[in-house]
Amino acid sequence: MEQRVSLITLGVDDLARARAFYEALGWTTRAEPGDDVVFFQAGRMVVALWGRAALAEDSGVEDTGGWGGITLAHNLRSPEEVDAVVEEARAAGAAVVREPGATFWGGYSAALTDPDGHPWEIAHNPRWTIRDDGTIELPA
Amino acid sequence: MEQRVSLITLGVDDLARARAFYEALGWTTRAEPGDDVVFFQAGRMVVALWGRAALAEDSGVEDTGGWGGITLAHNLRSPEEVDAVVEEARAAGAAVVREPGATFWGGYSAALTDPDGHPWEIAHNPRWTIRDDGTIELPA
């Protein structure tokens, strides 16, 4: 198994609301208005929005509700960029559950949840390289 | 906010077990044996393993247990590659919750869960391009 992820699918309760949230962050999709799944080309991979019940069935899991132990992160090049993206997300309807600040690991980050409760860390890690295309390179 | 994900963190109950599972799939990490977080360079992004309670606290969410509405996928170039990776994962200790087969959307996939219950779809989508480096390109 190659060491990569192709797709992250976020199960959502209201597809139109979820799509509007990510579009309000500036994300664009080629999905049609009535499509029941929305794909975003997200860097070199794909993020999808799909009904949570359908995703649970397709994934062969029981949906107990709530958070399931997965958090996404969006890394940026400076603390100032973290502050700016957090304000964009707040304006788009995110709940900022941890305001931006210094972290125990020597970086700077905030935590927010999207309208379906999926958490994102918005972070600056001074030890990680962000390439020009936004992809991440761990230290050698 | 740029249209990309930098990091996916999987909250785990037993870090050594989780790490051993992904290493059994052939993934490699520069983490030391005693590190309390394990980072994998996964294509152009990062996958991390970290204690689930710590991740919940850091993410500002309550952990209700179970699945939280996020599924990952690993896409491959043919149905035969799907079959092969599913057998690798089964041998590594994954639970295959949906055996490989044709899907309603015209592809071929299986679903499995890792030792912490995090679901992965192992899929071939004939309409998506997989570049030589394994990254994904949606149709234009």
> ipTM score of the complex?
0.94
Token duo for residue B20:
């051993």
Measured CA to CA, the distance from residue B106 to residue B75 in angstroms comes to 14
Distances (CA, A) of A137 to B16, B74, B101, B128: 24, 20, 35, 25
Mean pLDDT of A5-12: 97
- Answer whether A3 sits within 8 Å of B28, measured CB to CB: yes
Q: How far is CA B14 from the centre of its chain?
A: 17
B98 backbone φψ class: left, alpha, beta (φ>0; ψ -120 to 50): beta
Using a CB–CB cutoff of 8 Å, tell me whether A58 touches chain B. yes
Which pLDDT does position A37 carry in this prediction?
97
Residue A60: predicted pLDDT? 95
User: B31 CB near a chain A CB, below 8 Å?
Assistant: no
Which among A42, A85, A118 is the nearest to B69, CB-wise? A118
Candidate from A10, A56, A64 with C-beta closest to B65: A64
pLDDT truncated to tens, each residue of chain B (140 aa)? Answer: 999 999 999 999 999 999 999 999 999 999 998 899 999 999 999 999 999 999 999 999 999 899 999 999 999 999 999 999 999 999 999 999 999 999 999 999 999 999 999 999 999 999 999 999 999 999 98
- Contact between B119 and A60 using a beta-carbon 8 Å cutoff: yes
Chain A neighbors of B82, CB-CB under 8 A:
none
Q: How many CB atoms within 10 Å of residue A30?
A: 12
Q: Are B44 and B88 in contact (CB under 8 A)?
A: no
**pLDDT value, residue A59:** 96
Q: How far is B47 from chain A (nearest CA, A)?
A: 8
The answer to whether residues A39 and A46 touch, using CB atoms and an 8 Å cutoff, is yes
Residues of A in contact with B130 (CB under 8 A): 6
Q: Which amino acid is at A132?
A: D
Judged by CB atoms closer than 8 Å, whether chains meet at B3 and A44 is answered as: no
pLDDT above 90: residue A140: no
Amino acid occupying residue B54: A
Proportion of chain A above pLDDT 70, given as a percent: 100
pLDDT of residue A36: 95
For residue A4, the chain B residues in CB contact (below 8 A) are 42-43, 74, 134-135
Hey, what are B10's tokens? Answer: 């999987």
User: What confidence tens digit (pLDDT) does each residue in A24-81 have?
Assistant: 999 999 999 889 999 999 999 999 999 999 999 999 999 989 999 999 999 999 999 9
Query: What's the pTM value of the predicted model, to 2 decimals?
Result: 0.94
